Amino acid sequence: MPPAPVRWCMALVRWFPVVFITAVVVWSYYAYVIYMCFVSGVVDTVAEQVILLLLYHPFFLFFGWSYWQAIYTEPGKTPKQFYLSEQDVARFESSENEEQQRQILAKLVRDRNLPVQCRTATGAYRYCEKCKCIKPDRAHHCSMCGTCILKMDHHCPWVNNCVSFTNYKFFVIFLGYALLYCLYVTLTVLKYFIRFWTQGGFHNDLGRFHILFLFFASVMFSISLISLFGYHVFLTLHNRSTLESFRAPIFRTGPDKNGFSLGKRANFQEIFGDDRKKWFLPVFTSLGDGLSFPTRVDANVASSYNTMSETNPATASPSFGDGVTYPTRTEDIDSDTLLGARQRWAEEGGEEETSPVGTSKVHLINER
């Protein structure tokens, strides 16, 4: 661990992206509300000023509110019951082979009745060597936060926070309101931007700078936000995290990238909740506890039971298989092992690989 002064400097540097975004937003408020609508005189009538300001402030309010929630909502951390005791850690680390380690973890899961379904490629329960805990489903270790985070999506530098179960809704609607805010500014400033190029209309360089930079900045942010927001809408509707889009979660029956997908409506409600009035408000409405999640298998079983109750057994189609073994999918197989030096998927640091959306970081590390 680095010395305290280094840690303080690193923590300070991590706030730079947030300070930058905040400064741009504060400046945009001054340029749009104070300068364009009042000082510059380019807005033709009082009625036009009132309309612009009445429409502007809701976008600004919800954008700022959701951004605040994404930044300051504590990411969900792994509960104590998932951590191994000192005796269990000593017994686990002194094990002679991987099979003994697998048995120790399996016994702890049974004894503590932990709601764990996801496994490694070898069939063992996922274990974090840094936190000394059994990882809950969809949880991953974040090197920036220094702990295992529930349903971790990624650590976002623009909010200086881990996007996870507790604030994923806030992050998604922050992207949505940021996009709406930028589009609104772009469309309403376009008229005065065209007037500048065709008729002049500005008596000093300061007014020219504010209008031109406001237009170009809102256009550039809109373009980048469209792809990022669209990507997270896709993840929401398919019930995947950014990490799971790179590597499928592994269940007892094998890896399945759509293992947590319950259908687009149910996937949406799992994050945004059942109350439609609160869907697009920056308040927590996600379903569940962040530890256990319904799976596609659960949904199919429930559907099968409902269908069986309405079906005549005499005319029902026969079932196939032995009810014990099932076909498995072979995509994105995890190569995790409890012992050995294979390449692991992790979030503990190491070589960074930029995600397709340009902001999320996915980390690959060779542990030995």
Tokens coding 330 = 């072979």
How many whole angstroms separate alpha carbon 305 and alpha carbon 314? 16
Residue with tokens 């400097």: 9
The DSSP string of 27-77 is HHHIIIIIIIIIIS--S--HHHHHHHHHHHHHHHHHHHHHHHHHHHSPPPB
Q: 361 has which bridge partners?
A: 354
Distances (CA, A) of 235 to 261, 296, 307, 341, 350: 10, 16, 30, 32, 25
Which position among 128, 133, 148, 156 bears the catalytic label?
156
Angle between helices 168-199 and 205-238 (to 10 degrees): 150
HSE-up (13 A, CA, CB side) for residue 211: 26
How many whole angstroms separate alpha carbon 171 and alpha carbon 68? 10
* Closest by Cα among 311, 156, 123, 332 to 231: 156
Beta 133-134 vs 127-128: how paired, if at all? Answer: antiparallel
* Closest by Cα among 204, 41, 61, 58 to 49: 41
> Is 162 marked active-site?
no
Distances (CA, A) of 155 to 97, 121, 149, 197, 241: 34, 25, 10, 42, 12
Active site residues: 156
